[in-house]
C-alpha cells in the first residue's frame, strides 16, 4: 500500500494553468473511477475540490478540473489566483474498502 | 450544517493508549461510512481506516491493523478511534471524515496526538 505519487511542488503565475499529476497502479487509480482531490491550506483541514475523477462539489470554482488516463489522475487549475497557493492531495479507492492518498503537492503562485 | 468535532488527543508515552472521539451533527450520522485520516507534522495525509454505517465492519490500512480500532455509537452520533501501543511515529493530527461513496466529503478540524516520553 504505497502512497500515490505526486510531484512535490509545482508553480505558476497568476492567470496561468497548472496541472498536478497523481500516479498509482491498476489496483487503485487505474482500477476505479474514485479519485478525489483535496486542497489544504496551512493549519486547516483538507477541503474536497474534486471527486469521482472529474466532479466538483457545490461551491468549488470551475477553474478546478480533474481527469484520468490509465493509472494517472490529474488536477488542473486554470486562471491561477493567489488564493490557490496551497497543498493538494489526491486520494483513490484502492479496493478492499481501503483508500490511498498521494504524498501531496505544494502549489506556489509566483 | 454538517459538523465533525474531534476530541481526546494529548501527550502520551510510548506504549500507551488513547481513545479519540468524533462528534457528528447536521446530518444523519447512522447513514454514513466514517473514516479516520492522520497527518504527521509537516507530512502528508494517511488514511487509517473506515467503519460501516451500522458499525459491524471495519477496514484498516495494514500499518495499524491490530493496534487501532474504529467503533461508533449511532445513538450518540459519535465515532471513536482506540489507539494502542503507541509509537513516536504515531504522532499526528487525527481527522475524522464522513465517507460517502468513496468520497471523504466532510472533515473535522483534527485532534493532535503526541507520543513522547
Asked whether residue A27 carries a pLDDT value surpassing 90, the answer given is yes
Binary contact (A45, B110; C-beta < 8 A): yes
pLDDT-derived band at A52, boundaries 50, 70, 90: very high
Give chain A positions within 8 Å (CB) of B104. 36, 38, 46, 48, 91, 99
CB contact under 8 A, B47 and A57: no
pLDDT at B113: 97
Q: Which helix (H) or strand (E) holds B39?
A: strand B33-39
Evaluate if residue B94 carries a pLDDT over 90: yes
Residue A85 pLDDT > 80: yes
CB A84 within 8 A of CB A75: no
Per-residue pLDDT tens digits for B8-44 = 999 999 999 999 999 999 999 999 999 999 999 999 9
Which chain A positions have a beta carbon within 8 Å of B63's beta carbon? 1
Q: Judge whether residue A1 has pLDDT over 70.
A: no
Do A91 and B45 make contact, defined as CB atoms within 8 angstroms? yes
Q: Is B41 near chain A, with CB under 8 Å?
A: no
Of B44, B57, B105, the CB nearest to A89: B44
B67 Rama class: left (phi>0) / alpha (psi -120 to 50) / beta: alpha
Q: If you average pLDDT over residues A1-10, what whole number do you get? A: 92
Compare CB distances from A93 to B60, B102, B107 and report the shortest one's residue. B102
Å between B105 CA and nearest CA of chain A: 6
Residue A94 to residue A24: CA distance in whole angstroms:
10
Section B70-81 average pLDDT: 98
Signed CA dihedral, A67, A69, A74, A77: sign only: negative
Amino acid at each position: 500500500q504505497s502512497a500515490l505519487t505526486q510531484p512535490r511542488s509545482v508553480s505558476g503565475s497568476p492567470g496561468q494553468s497548472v496541472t498536478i499529476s497523481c500516479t498509482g497502479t491498476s489496483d487503485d487509480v487505474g482500477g476505479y473511477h474514485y479519485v478525489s482531490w483535496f486542497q489544504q491550506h496551512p493549519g486547516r483541514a483538507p477541503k474536497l475540490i474534486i471527486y469521482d475523477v472529474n466532479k466538483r462539489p457545490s461551491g468549488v470554482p470551475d477553474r478546478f478540473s480533474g481527469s484520468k488516463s490509465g493509472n494517472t489522475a490529474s488536477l488542473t487549475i486554470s486562471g491561477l489566483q493567489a488564493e490557490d497557493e496551497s497543498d493538494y492531495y489526491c486520494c483513490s479507492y484502492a479496493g478492499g474498502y481501503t483508500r490511498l492518498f498521494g504524498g501531496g503537492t505544494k502549489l506556489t503562485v509566483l | 450544517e454538517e459538523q465533525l468535532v474531534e476530541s481526546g488527543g494529548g501527550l502520551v508515552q510510548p506504549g500507551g493508549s488513547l481513545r479519540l472521539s468524533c462528534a457528528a451533527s447536521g446530518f444523519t450520522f447512522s447513514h454514513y461510512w466514517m473514516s479516520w485520516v492522520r497527518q504527521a507534522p509537516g507530512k502528508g495525509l494517511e488514511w487509517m481506516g473506515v467503519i460501516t454505517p451500522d458499525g459491524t465492519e471495519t477496514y484498516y490500512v495494514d500499518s495499524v491493523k491490530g493496534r487501532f480500532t474504529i467503533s461508533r455509537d449511532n445513538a450518540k452520533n459519535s465515532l471513536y478511534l482506540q489507539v494502542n501501543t503507541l509509537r513516536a511515529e504515531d504522532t499526528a493530527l487525527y481527522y475524522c471524515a464522513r465517507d460517502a461513496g468513496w468520497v471523504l466529503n466532510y472533515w473535522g478540524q483534527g485532534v493532535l496526538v503526541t507520543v513522547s516520553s
